Amino acid sequence: MRTHLNTAGAGLMSRRTVETMIEVLEAEQRDGAYETEQRYDDELNVALYKELGRLVNADPQDVAIFDSATRAWSATFGRLALRSGQRVIITPYEYAGNLMSLTTLQKRYGFRIEVMPLDGAGDLDLDWLRRSVDDDVALVSVPHVPSGCGIVNPVEEIGRILDGGDALYVVDGCQSVGQLPVDVGRIGCDLFTGAGRKFLCGPRGTGFAVASRRLRERLTPDLLDLHVADIDQHLDVAEHVSGARGLELAERSTAVFMGLLASLAEAPDPAGLDNGHLSTALAAELRTVDGVQVFDPGRRQSGITAFRHDRVPAARIAEELRAAGVNVWKIAGSHTPLYLLERDVTTAVRVSVHWYTTEADLTRFMNELRRILA
Ligand SMILES: Cc1ncc(COP(=O)(O)O)c(C=O)c1O
């Protein structure tokens, strides 16, 4: 039996999720793909939006579906019209893909990017934020949980600081949704993005955004696809579906989104999970190993821990663990560059736990790691 400690890459799908996708693919082969999609119309166009809305306490009208979290982020964020002289506040924990969209926009509009400082423990300096937010701040972007370490950022508290102001508030929930309770109403964000394949244990190729009406009203017009709009012989375009779905493309895999729906039905209530507890215990154990440096900034942890060794490269540790039946992931510092690369961490080993992780899994991991590093 393999021990899977790479949910932050992709979680393990359930048998039911896999069977759902197989059933859909078989129906497509037997009956035709468009015909199969029609049969699942209610699931794909109503239930999926309702379930995602329920998951994060959002209006289904604000939910849009994409094939990845990056697409969800860039399909919305990439269309924001900002102005030179405006300020965009990010954190050292921002994901590299988001930073790339951001720098593309910066080249276009010439706004200033400011990075929120951290306090001595690695938590975001919220006093700095309180002092810094003014009318020039166009947007504040915070990952709920970053890609390369398990800190849980205080997204609700930040929402309260921004409440009532004009700045848009963007939260990347790719690594939090499915393992932490998420309530976009309480967070008060304008954009929340997530991936289906990680802590929701859905299929690859699934992502979603929750985009508020306030955010949507500030987007530059862009492509509308045929599932939400019509065009006539005079080239007049009429949108016939309102809400965040206007951000999507029409073409998608029926099988993977039916798989996502199946995984949502089974996902345990995150309120009952405590991945942070397991990670904290694991980090303490890792610190007892000679030459290991753990990256677990901040006072509150989720199911992700990262570490490196002063002699054995991360790639070798990950490879040898895999050969011994334990999945972990070698991460690149450049994926969380403002935190990891800034500290000269070019690679590290990421270990991520979820509800299916047992004490025995962690013992196995630690035993194999000690053997590799001996
Ligand atoms: C924090 C964070 N945001 C965004 C992403 C991008 O997700 P996707 O690969 O689905 O585009 C990742 C991927 O690992 C991530 O960890």
Mean pLDDT of 176-202: 98
How many C-beta neighbours within 10 Å does residue 339 have?
24
Atom of ligand 1 lying closest to residue 68 CA: 10
Q: Which of 266, 298, 319 is the last residue of a domain?
A: 266
Q: Which of 167, 172, 166 is nearest to 184 (CA)?
A: 172
Give residue 353's domain range: 3-11+271-373
**Integer Cα distance of 56 and 360 in angstroms:** 32
| Pairing mode of beta strands 292-295, 304-309 | antiparallel
53-76: per-residue pLDDT in tens?
999 999 999 999 999 999 999 999
361-370: per-residue pLDDT in tens?
999 999 999 9
Atom of ligand 1 lying closest to residue 71 CA: 11
Mean pLDDT of 178-204: 98
* Distance from residue 356's CA to the centre of ligand 1 (Å): 21
Tell me: pLDDT of 323 over 90: yes
Domains identified in the chain, total number: 2
**Integer Cα distance of 306 and 340 in angstroms:** 10
CA 248 to mean position of chain CA atoms:
18
Identify whether residues 128 and 182 lie together within a single domain.
yes
Which of 175, 208, 302, 350 most suits a substitution to test ligand 1, by most atoms within 8 Å of the C-beta?
175
Which of 174, 340, 350 most suits a substitution to test ligand 1, by most atoms within 8 Å of the C-beta?
174
Secondary structure of the chain: what % helix, strand, coil (to 5)? 40, 20, 40
Which of 91, 147, 198 most suits a substitution to test ligand 1, by most atoms within 8 Å of the C-beta?
147
CATH number at residue 306: 3.90.1150.10
Identify whether residues 344 and 198 lie together within a single domain.
no
pLDDT at 362: 97
* Distance from residue 337's CA to the centre of ligand 1 (Å): 14
